Amino acid sequence: MNQTRNLFYAQSGGVTAVINATACGVIETARAHRDRVGDILAGRMGILGALREDLIDTGKESSASIAALRHTPGGAFGSVRYKLRSIERNAAEYQRLIEVFRAHDIGYFIYNGGGDSMDTANKVAQVARTMGYDITCVGVPKTVDNDLPVTDNCPGFGSVAKYVALSTLEASIDVVSMPETKVFILEVMGRHAGWIAAASALAGEVRSEPPHIILFPEVPFDEERFIDKVRETVERYDNCVVVASEGIRRADGGFVAESGTQDAFGHAQLGGVAPYLAALVRGRLGYKFHYAVADYLQRSARHIASAVDVEQAYAMGKAAVEMALAGVHGKLPVIVRTSNDPYRWEVGQADLSAVANVEKTLPPEYISDDGLHVTDACRRYLSPLIQGEDYPPYRNGLPTYVRLGNQLVEKRLPPWVG
């Protein structure tokens, strides 16, 4: 005889074009197991929703709305960057979580996020057992940064990679068309890991094609080498396309974007790598430039999501619920690449502790010898992840993204004083 318990799902950290596809996989799979899963509750604003007892009743949503999550970007239930402190330093927070879980008979905890979030999931998994509360905790990987270890890649990355490769390709065609513009710079996300910038390399097949220069956080920014390479590229090809990670740093460790440039109020400029590099190029070389800053557009571009990414994001959500129902505790599903050509992958499992707080940056063998581009090995790794288009439906010229009602269940506990 199976016992019916409720399920809690939350999204954490920066959202992606496909984290809602994971939510869709979680909810649809849980709904298909009514004998085991009762209410499917989602945290309003991630783990804060659990602490505040802001629990969204996904049962109020039609199957059509839940199905539409598969093609809707953003975080349907809200997401925050909130990291639980260590148990020693804040036992009350963990106790509160367990109280809320107990009050709502949560038997399954599914936490969808990056490295920090896997750490949170891992702590919750440990504390619950220590406190004698019966719950099965499973993580689900998500991050545009692709910086989780163990898993071959992270859901969310393939779509931003496709967007960045595509945008680099399209903008480069524009630059080539306009011989007056010599340098184009595209700033992409990546504070510590250069995976997103690396994906721009797929816009060309050889180094003579744009992008000509890629700047990674893993490679200290060398102004002279950069300027020399821009000059050489413009002299040879009449233009130069640069893709820069927002997190590039100088040899002394300081962010390039914060070094020297100030805004109108005298604050160090943030997220301004592209304007900084553009000014540098103009100042040193006098070339006419254009720059773009992709920012949120890159991670919300569901309209051009990678079909492989959508499929994997959904599969991770589905697998997480299946693992939880099988009593797998303290783990997360991961993507295992079993073949590169043709690309094949399967769902594996890893310990939350192996993934928590470990950052996977670009390995040296994926960066070209001069530090300004990728290797063929990197291309072979990246290319399968951007395959296939998974277009959302459109109405009146725009995608029909769903917005859920997000009705909260009635609170059963006094307010949280965090």
Q: String of b and e for 72-99 (b: at least 16 CB within 10 Å)?
A: bbbbbbbbbebebeeeeeeeebbebbbb
Residue 371 Cβ vs a second copy, minimum distance, rounded to whole Å: 22
| Whole-angstrom distance, CA of residue 7 vs CA of residue 324 | 10
Q: Is 269 in the site for a second copy (CB under 8 A)?
A: yes
- 343 strand-pairing partners: 340
Nearer to a second copy, 21 or 323 (CB): 21
| Whole-angstrom distance, CA of residue 230 vs CA of residue 238 | 10
Q: Is 263 in the site for a second copy (CB under 8 A)?
A: yes
Q: Are 46 and 329 in contact (CB under 8 A)?
A: no
Q: Is 203 in the site for a second copy (CB under 8 A)?
A: yes
Nearer to a second copy, 49 or 115 (CB): 49
Residue 230 Cβ vs a second copy, minimum distance, rounded to whole Å: 16
Task: Name which position in 103, 178, 326, 413 contacts a second copy (CB under 8 A).
Answer: 178
Binding segment (CB under 8 A) for a second copy, from list 8-16, 106-114, 120-128, 364-372: 8-16
Q: Are 177 and 238 in contact (CB under 8 A)?
A: no
Binding segment (CB under 8 A) for a second copy, from list 117-125, 148-156, 329-337, 394-402: 394-402
Q: String of b and e for 102-124 (b: at least 16 CB within 10 Å)?
A: bebebbbbbbbbbbbbbbbbbbb
Q: Are 141 and 3 in contact (CB under 8 A)?
A: no
Residue 162 Cβ vs a second copy, minimum distance, rounded to whole Å: 6
Nearer to a second copy, 28 or 390 (CB): 390
Angle at 316 between CA 104 and CA 27, to 5 degrees: 40
Q: Is 81 in the site for a second copy (CB under 8 A)?
A: yes
Residues 319-358 that bind a second copy (CB under 8 A): none
145 is catalytic: yes
Residue 15 Cβ vs a second copy, minimum distance, rounded to whole Å: 5
Q: Are 385 and 303 in contact (CB under 8 A)?
A: no
Q: Is 275 in the site for a second copy (CB under 8 A)?
A: yes
Residue 306 Cβ vs a second copy, minimum distance, rounded to whole Å: 7
Task: Name which position in 5, 71, 123, 162 contacts a second copy (CB under 8 A).
Answer: 162
Tell me how far CA of residue 339 lies from CA of 39, 310, 380, in angstroms.
39, 19, 11
Residue 117 Cβ vs a second copy, minimum distance, rounded to whole Å: 14
Task: Name which position in 5, 6, 12, 14 contacts a second copy (CB under 8 A).
Answer: 14
The site for a second copy, by CB under 8 A, has a size of: 76
Nearer to a second copy, 74 or 107 (CB): 74
Binding segment (CB under 8 A) for a second copy, from list 115-123, 254-262, 322-330, 332-340: 254-262
Residue 212 Cβ vs a second copy, minimum distance, rounded to whole Å: 15
Residue 14 Cβ vs a second copy, minimum distance, rounded to whole Å: 7
Q: Is 68 in the site for a second copy (CB under 8 A)?
A: no
Q: Is 227 in the site for a second copy (CB under 8 A)?
A: no
Q: Is 184 in the site for a second copy (CB under 8 A)?
A: yes
Q: Is 383 in the site for a second copy (CB under 8 A)?
A: yes
Task: Name which position in 356, 386, 390, 404 contacts a second copy (CB under 8 A).
Answer: 386
**What phi and psi, each to the nearest 5 degrees, are found at residue 273?**
-65, -45
Q: Is 223 in the site for a second copy (CB under 8 A)?
A: no
Q: Is 79 in the site for a second copy (CB under 8 A)?
A: yes
| Whole-angstrom distance, CA of residue 12 vs CA of residue 228 | 42
Q: Is 404 in the site for a second copy (CB under 8 A)?
A: no
Q: Which of 39, 54, 119, 145 is catalytic?
A: 145
Q: Is 397 in the site for a second copy (CB under 8 A)?
A: yes
Q: Is 166 in the site for a second copy (CB under 8 A)?
A: yes
Report how far Cα 64 is from the mean position of its chain's Cα atoms.
25
Task: Name which position in 5, 6, 8, 15 contacts a second copy (CB under 8 A).
Answer: 15
Return the structure tokens found at 389. 């288009």
Q: Is 254 in the site for a second copy (CB under 8 A)?
A: no
